[in-house]
Amino acid sequence: MINNQKKGIIVTYVLVFGAIFLLLLSGLLGFILLQLRQAVQKEAWNEALNIAEAGINYYRWCSNNEVEGSCQVEKEYRDPAGSPIGRFSLQITPTAYCGEVVERTISSTGWTYRFPNVKRTVSISLAKTSVAKYAYLINDNVWAGADREIRGLYHSNGGIRMDGENQSLVTSTKGDWICTSSFGCSSCPTSDGCWIEDSNCHCPGVFTTTGNADPDLFDFPVSPFDFSAITIDLAEMKNLAEPPPEGQGLGLYFPLSGQEGYHIVLKHNGSIASIDVWEVTEVEMLGNVCTTVGAKIICDNESCKPECPECQSGKCIVEDPVIKNENYIGNHEIPQDCGVVFFEDNLWVGGEFQESKVKGKITVVSADLEDPGKETDVWLQGNIEYTVKDGSDGLTIIAQHNNLIGLYSPDNMELEGIFIAQTGHFGRNYYPCGGSSSYQPHCLRDKLEITGSVVSNGRVGTKWTGGSTSGYLTRENYFDPDLIYSPPPFTPRITDDFQIVNWEEVE
Say whether both 340 and 477 belong to one domain: yes
The answer to whether 293 and 309 have CB atoms below 8 angstroms apart is yes
Whether residue 441 is preceded by a cis peptide bond, meaning omega within 30 degrees of 0, is yes
Q: What is the pLDDT of residues 295-343, one digit of tens each?
A: 788 999 999 988 888 898 899 999 999 999 999 999 999 999 999 999 9
pTM, rounded to two decimals: 0.88
d(CA 333, CA 274): 4
Q: Is residue 314 part of a domain?
A: no
Say whether both 485 and 377 belong to one domain: yes
38's enclosing H/E stretch is helix 2-64
Q: Is residue 308 part of a domain?
A: no
Q: Is residue 298 part of a domain?
A: no
Q: What is the pLDDT of residues 413-444, one digit of tens each?
A: 999 999 999 999 999 999 999 877 789 999 99
Structurally, the chain folds into a number of domains equal to 3
* DSSP β-ladder status, 378-380 and 403-405: parallel
Please name which of 492, 488, 246 lies closest in space to residue 370, comparing C-alpha atoms. Answer: 246
Q: What is the pLDDT of residues 115-169, one digit of tens each?
A: 898 899 999 999 999 999 999 999 999 999 999 999 999 999 999 999 999 999 9
Say whether both 22 and 120 belong to one domain: yes
Terminal Cα distance for the chain, rounded: 72
240's enclosing H/E stretch is helix 234-241
Say whether both 65 and 179 belong to one domain: no
Enclosing domain of residue 115: 2-128+501-506
Say whether both 478 and 351 belong to one domain: yes
Whether residue 489 is preceded by a cis peptide bond, meaning omega within 30 degrees of 0, is no
The answer to whether 44 and 118 have CB atoms below 8 angstroms apart is yes
Say whether both 361 and 245 belong to one domain: yes
What pLDDT shows up at residue 148? Answer: 92
Q: What is the pLDDT of residues 67-101, one digit of tens each?
A: 888 889 999 999 888 899 999 999 999 988 888 88
Say whether both 398 and 249 belong to one domain: yes
Q: Is residue 34 predicted with pLDDT exceeding 60?
A: no
Q: Is residue 37 predicted with pLDDT exceeding 80?
A: no
Higher pLDDT, residue 78 or 233:
78
Rg (CA), the chain: 33
d(CA 162, CA 165): 8
* DSSP β-ladder status, 296-299 and 290-293: antiparallel
What pLDDT shows up at residue 485? Answer: 93
| DSSP one-letter code for 237 | H
Say whether both 198 and 156 belong to one domain: yes
Whether residue 221 is preceded by a cis peptide bond, meaning omega within 30 degrees of 0, is yes
